[in-house]
Amino acid sequence: MKLNHLTAHEILELIAKKEYTAKDIYQSVHYQIEKTEKEVHAYANLTEPASLSIDENKSFPIPIAIKDNMCILDQETTCSSNILKGFKPSYDATVIQKLKDSGAIIVGHANMDEFAFGSSTETSCYGPTHNPWNLDCVPGGSSGGSTAAVASNQAIWAIGSDTGGSIRQPAAFCGVVGLKPTYGRVSRYGLIAFASSLDQIGPITKDIKDSALLMNIIAGHDPKDSTSINRTVPDYTNSLVNDVNGLRIGIPKEYFIDGIDAEVKQAVLDAIETLKERGATLKEVSLPHTEYAVATYYIIATSEASSNLARFDGVQYGLRKIPAKSRKSSIVDMYEETRATGFGTEAKRRIMLGTYSLSSGYYDDYYLKGLKVRTLIKQDFDKVFKDFDAIITPTTPTTAFKIGEKTSDPISMYLSDIFTISANLSGIPAISIPCGFSSNDLPIGMQIMAKPFDEEMLFRIGYTYQQITDWHKKRVDL
């Protein structure tokens, strides 16, 4: 038995039975990192083994990978950008604090697209992460390092962030479970902001049970985050029930469009059929404003990003570049030099797009219009959820693409999130779970969406599905 291939709940049972210690588990993960990290490159940086604390008495002493945009006290946190090289936070993000309290063994910061801008983990200043199922392919993004770490068994579970699909899309590409919780369910304090009205932190795991367990650790109100919601957090493991009888599930016709890969479509339709056999009622529904989601997202997300990234100017965080003729240069020259050197191409593209949409004369036509369409997209969901408990779609239109295939075509890269973006614009929870493999052995994901704060519905449907199928049990043997 390979310990690092197990789920967290399986490991916790073994630890409880005293068959293994948390240290044994960490060692198996550490060995795997030594063996495969050169090929996979899931991590931006690894925690110094000397500073790792393994406390056998804590409830969840499980090795975890943390996306490189969450602040860890005294540990370099860079958003995989040159502009934050050398930045060591003076505090822990709330999620990190909760994980540390539970006994988590933080293996390292996982690689990501620079500032979470991307769908392939190719825009990282550390170079691309490779998909463990096929090293020539991308793992998806922007949490591709976190999903690749779990899929390559270099971590037992991981934490990602999702602004437009960045947990779910790479989860689908890497054959793992990725949940974007309801906006406000998990604190964003200490998450370096991309688009503050869309960002959510969520779990990346091998199965649904682990997803529920990790949510139990990280969810909840936080006075340090004014957008976090003060609402009781249920014990998510109570929703792990094998029963979908009588549930009403909507299948939106706008998500089964031309251009979607035939094998992806078939795998998701087969999964839907499986749930039908278990007594769920499935019916076609319509989310008519879906076609505007990508455009709306790229107006709103880039606007917020341009504003959030204004703080990286060489003064407080990370890199500072003083122009060569330093005696003559002003502080503005320093800002310019720092930002010109520190940000990569995609970050610059987004800052320019967002600044344009927010600028006087264009604000009404772009940003304000975007906000109005966002409301229409949300209303589509409100309407469907009056009569349905959940919505099922493919997570992505295709399986993982080749490294380099879309780097010179930003629009085609942006379209990889066509099915995931609407959940962020509407604030609703959505999960991607493995539901098949393509003929060339790449994982396929199905997305389940539910009403705000009804993560329990996602767990219930996902858990039932995993009792009947075993896609989530496949492991890469690297």
Minimum CB distance to ligand GLN smaller for 189 or for 194: 194
- CA–chain centroid gap for 292, Å, is 22
Question: Is residue 388 exposed (0-12), middle (13-18) or buried (19+ Cβ within 10 Å)?
Answer: buried
Contact 121, 105 (CB under 8 A): no
Per-position x/- string for 166-185, each x denoting binding to ligand GLN as judged by CB under 6 A, each - no binding = x-------------------
Identify whether the C-beta of residue 457 lies closer than 8 Å to the C-beta of residue 194: no
Does 201 engage in binding with ligand GLN (CB under 6 A)?
no
Identified binder of ligand GLN from the candidate list 107, 116, 186, 247, rule CB under 6 A: 116
255 is a contact residue toward ligand GLN (CB under 6 A): no
Query: Which residues 75-114 are close enough to bind ligand GLN by CB under 6 A?
Result: none
By CB atoms closer than 10 A (0-12, 13-18, 19+), residue 124 is buried
Does the footprint of ligand GLN cover residue 218 (CB under 6 A)? no
Stretch of residues binding ligand GLN (CB under 6 A), selected from 32-40, 147-155, 157-165, 384-392: 157-165
Among 37, 114, 162, 225, binds ligand GLN (CB under 6 A): 162
Quick one: 191 or 390, whose CB is closer to ligand GLN? 191
**Shortest distance (Å) from residue 117 CB to ligand GLN:** 5
Determine, following the binding rule CB under 6 A, whether residue 164 of this chain makes contact with ligand GLN.
Answer: yes
From 28, 124, 142, 416, active-site residue: 142
Is 163 a residue that touches ligand GLN (CB under 6 A)?
A: yes
68 touches ligand GLN by CB under 6 A: no
- The gap from C-alpha 306 to its chain's centroid, in whole angstroms, comes to 21
**67 a catalytic residue:** yes
Q: Which CB, 165 or 443, lies closer to ligand GLN? A: 165
Site for ligand GLN in 271-310 (CB under 6 A): 301
254 near ligand GLN (CB under 6 A): no
Q: How far is the CB of 341 from ligand GLN (least distance, A)?
A: 22
Task: Choose the catalytic residue: 161, 166, 228, 416.
Answer: 166
Residue 122 as a binder of ligand GLN (CB under 6 A): the answer is no
Options 76-84, 86-94, 163-171, 253-261: segment touching ligand GLN (CB under 6 A): 163-171
Stretch that binds ligand GLN, among 115-123, 270-278, 286-294, 311-319 (CB under 6 A): 115-123
Compare residues 9 and 67 and give the one whose CB is closer to ligand GLN. Answer: 67
Q: Please choose, out of 72-80, 159-167, 398-406, 462-470, the segment that lies near ligand GLN by the rule CB under 6 A.
A: 159-167
Q: Which listed residue (103, 118, 344, 462) binds ligand GLN by CB under 6 A?
A: 118
Candidate list 417, 454, 455, 456; residue touching ligand GLN; CB under 6 A: 417
119 belongs to the binding site for ligand GLN (CB under 6 A): yes
Q: Work out whether 142 is an interface residue with ligand GLN (CB under 6 A).
A: yes
- Smallest gap from residue 419 Cβ to ligand GLN (A): 12
39: which residues sit within 8 A by CB, 6+ positions away? 130, 135, 478
Binding status of residue 165 toward ligand GLN by CB under 6 A = yes
The answer to whether residue 142 is catalytic is yes
Could you say which of 67, 98, 206, 209 is catalytic?
A: 67
Residue 279 or 404: the one with the smaller Cβ distance to ligand GLN is 404
Closest separation in Å from C-beta 437 to ligand GLN: 23
Of the candidates 194, 367, 385, 465, which one interacts with ligand GLN according to CB under 6 A? 194
Cβ contact 162:424 at 8 Å: yes
**Nearest-angstrom CA–CA distance, 241 and 456:** 10
Q: Judged by CB under 6 A, does residue 415 bind ligand GLN?
A: no
**Nearer Cβ to ligand GLN, position 103 or 165?**
165
What is the closest distance, in whole angstroms, from the C-beta atom of residue 87 to ligand GLN in the complex? Answer: 19
The residue of the chain with the least Cβ separation from ligand GLN equals: 166
> Where do we find the tokens 């044994």?
24
Contact 110, 149 (CB under 8 A): yes
Catalytic residues, which ones?
Answer: 67, 142, 166
Binding site for ligand GLN (CB under 6 A): 116-119, 142, 162-166, 194, 301, 417
